[in-house]
Amino acid sequence: MRVIVAEEPPDVAVVDVRMPPTHTDEGLRAAVRIRRERPSVGVLVLSQYVERRYAAQLFGADAAGVGYLLKDRVVEVDAFLDALVRVGGGGAAFDPEVVRSWSPAAAARIRWGA
């Protein structure tokens, strides 16, 4: 995935937290690396569960161009498409369950982007 993004950067890379070969956190590691190496590429991460450490690791204090959705939201096509557009435009898109899991102090430190 990183090779493809490096050769022909998309507007947004959509990744699952758990990807082959081990199905642990390869997708998240790829997303973090994409953000570091290609900050102009938006990253939309899909996860089965709310995992705050993954979201925090992905954006730190800058949520611009980042999204984190639970897979249940993907079946809501309009919500998924809206998230793609926002992340591709430099904004942020987070599942309400993910946001509810953050402490108010943590949420206040985040720069939400466009």
Q: For position 72, which CATH number holds?
A: 3.40.50.2300
Question: In this structure, is residue 68 part of a structural domain?
Answer: yes
Q: Range of 46's domain?
A: 2-108
Give residue 96's pLDDT.
80
In percent, how much of the chain has pLDDT > 90? 25
Question: In this structure, is residue 114 part of a structural domain?
Answer: no
* Number of domains the chain contains: 1
Question: In this structure, is residue 44 part of a structural domain?
Answer: yes
Question: In this structure, is residue 95 part of a structural domain?
Answer: yes
pLDDT digits (tens, 9 = 90+) for 38-69: 889 999 999 888 776 766 777 666 778 999 89
Residue pair 24/72 in contact by the 8 Å Cβ criterion: no
Rounded Cα distance between 98 and 68, Å, is 8
Question: In this structure, is residue 113 part of a structural domain?
Answer: no
Statement: residue 111 has pLDDT above 60: no
